[in-house]
């Protein structure tokens, strides 16, 4: 199984409020549909929520959970916004010939203190086995400790990615940037400490930005790649097994 995540930073304007990037969505939908049509029938797509998630969570004050009626309205509004973004991407994928089906995480998983505690992955696998392209995304989710909490696309990737053959995460940067603006080619649990000085906190991000992403990915044994989604040809290369500028997370098992 292969997982591709399109970051919220690529398909939305994270400095805006519920602001999509229609041209990027179209370009990436064409790229992903192409990968699928060329035979990647074991592909699961995950996308971030970008400004349809983080900004809406902040507006409604859901950073510490969902308790009162106003926050429940906020949960519902954020979930609706995330679904709206997913519909845009799914619509573009279908128009490009990929049978994409959006599976809202709010309906198939729940959290306990911010972490996934239950995930009905059978639904995802059944769609995959039946020849569809399942699409999951950063979304609000019920949380048994906090009432409700945002579940990042990165956490979904990490959960589904145990045992995956390939994980590719597209963001709006060429990889993890280190000294002198150069892309760090490889990050492992061994050099995380050393490179962590380069990880800046991102504004308008409630799920930890690049640091959160690395923590999720380093928890896996699978190799993953952080690549620039504004250059779809790099995604294509990685899926064809060819090199592309990116940061590799974890080492290939010998
Ligand atoms: N050392 C770093 N290298 C690259 N990006 C970094 C670094 N530190 C912080 N970032 C930020 O992380 C962002 C990517 O993470 P994030 O916004 O969570 O992406 P996504 O929306 O795709 O999940 C970049 O846009 C950048 O602003
Ligand atoms: Mg993020």
Instruction: Over range 68-90, report the average pLDDT.
Output: 98
Q: What is the pLDDT of residue 152?
A: 97
Which residue out of 205, 209, 225, 246 has the highest number of ligand 1 atoms within 8 Å of its CB and is therefore the one to mutate? 209
Sign of the dihedral defined by the CA atoms of residues 235, 240, 245, 246, in that order: positive
Question: Cβ(89)–Cβ(33) under 8 Å?
Answer: no
Q: Which carries the bigger pLDDT value, residue 206 or residue 74?
A: 74
Q: Is the pLDDT of residue 254 over 70?
A: no
Residue-wise pLDDT tens digits, 109-144: 999 999 999 999 999 999 999 999 999 999 999 999
User: Which residues, in sequence order, are CB contacts of 15 under 8 Å at separation 6+?
Assistant: 51, 204
Question: Rounded to the nearest whole angstrom, what is the distance from the C-alpha of residue 243 to the centroid of ligand 2?
Answer: 24
The confidence band for 190, taking pLDDT boundaries of 50, 70 and 90, is very high
Which residue out of 6, 8, 9 has the highest number of ligand 1 atoms within 8 Å of its CB and is therefore the one to mutate? 9
Q: What is the pLDDT of residue 252?
A: 84
Q: Is the pLDDT of residue 29 over 80?
A: yes
Sketch the domain layout of the chain as residue ranges. Answer: 2-249
176 CB within 6 A, ligand 1: yes
Q: Point out the ligand 1 atom lying closest to the alpha carbon of residue 209.
A: 18
Instruction: Over range 180-202, report the average pLDDT.
Output: 94
Nearest CA to ligand 1 atom 14: 210
pTM here? 0.97
Q: What is the pLDDT of residue 182?
A: 97
Q: What is the pLDDT of residue 18?
A: 98
CA–CA distance, 11 with 8 (Å, rounded to integer): 5
Nearest CA to 59 out of 22, 21, 20, 16 is that of 16
Question: Rounded to the nearest whole angstrom, what is the distance from the C-alpha of residue 60 to the centroid of ligand 2?
Answer: 19
Burial of 206 (0-12, 13-18, 19+ CB in 10 A): buried
Q: What is the pLDDT of residue 205?
A: 87
Ranges 10-19, 94-103, 193-202: which has the least confidence: 193-202
Q: CA 191 → CA 9, 181, 194, 216, distances in Å? A: 26, 18, 5, 15
Q: What is the greatest pairwise CA distance in the chain?
A: 53
Residue 100 CB coordination number (10 Å): 24
Instruction: Over range 193-218, report the average pLDDT.
Output: 91
Residue-wise pLDDT tens digits, 155-181: 999 999 998 999 999 999 999 999 999
CA–CA distance, 112 with 254 (Å, rounded to integer): 35
User: Which residues, in sequence order, are CB contacts of 84 under 8 Å at separation 6+?
Assistant: 18, 52
Instruction: Over range 92-121, report the average pLDDT.
Output: 98
CA–CA distance, 133 with 42 (Å, rounded to integer): 8
- What's the DSSP call for residue 201? P
Return the half-sphere exposure (C-beta side, CA atoms, 13 A cut-off) of residue 30: 9
Tell which CATH classification among 3.40.50.970, 3.40.1160.10, 3.40.50.300, 3.40.50.720 matches the domain 2-249.
3.40.1160.10
Which residue out of 138, 151, 167, 173 has the highest number of ligand 1 atoms within 8 Å of its CB and is therefore the one to mutate? 173
The counts of H helices and E strands in the chain are: 10, 12
Residue-wise pLDDT tens digits, 207-250: 899 999 999 999 999 999 999 999 999 999 999 999 999 999 99
Instruction: Over range 149-156, report the average pLDDT.
Output: 98
């Amino acid at each position: 199984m292969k997982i591709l995540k399109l970051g919220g930073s690529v398909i939305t304007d994270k400095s805006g409020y519920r602001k999509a990037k229609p041209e990027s969505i179209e370009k990436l939908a064409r790229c992903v549909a192409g990968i699928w049509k060329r035979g990647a029938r074991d592909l699961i797509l995950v996308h971030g929520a970008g400004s349809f998630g983080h900004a809406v969570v902040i507006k409604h004050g859901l950073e510490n959970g969902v308790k009162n009626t106003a926050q429940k309205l906020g949960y519902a509004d954020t979930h609706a916004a995330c679904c709206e973004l997913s519909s845009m991407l799914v619509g573009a994928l279908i128009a490009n010939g990929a049978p994409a089906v959006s599976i809202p995480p709010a309906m198939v998983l729940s959290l306990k203190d911010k972490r996934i505690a239950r995930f009905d992955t059978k639904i995802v696998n059944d769609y995959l086995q039946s020849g569809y392209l399942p699409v999951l995304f950063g979304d609000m989710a019920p949380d048994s400790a906090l009432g409700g909490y945002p579940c990042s696309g990165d956490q979904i990737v990490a959960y589904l990615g145990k045992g995956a053959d390939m994980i590719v995460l597209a963001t709006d940067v060429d990889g993890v940037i280190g000294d002198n603006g150069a892309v760090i080619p490889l990050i492992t649990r061994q050099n995380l400490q050393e490179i962590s000085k380069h990880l800046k906190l991102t504004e308008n991000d409630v799920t930890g930005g690049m640091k959160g992403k690395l923590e999720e990915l380093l928890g896996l044994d699978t190799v993953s790649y952080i690549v620039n989604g504004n250059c779809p040809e790099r995604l294509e290369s990685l899926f064809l097994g060819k090199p592309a500028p990116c940061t590799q997370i974890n080492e290939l098992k010998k």
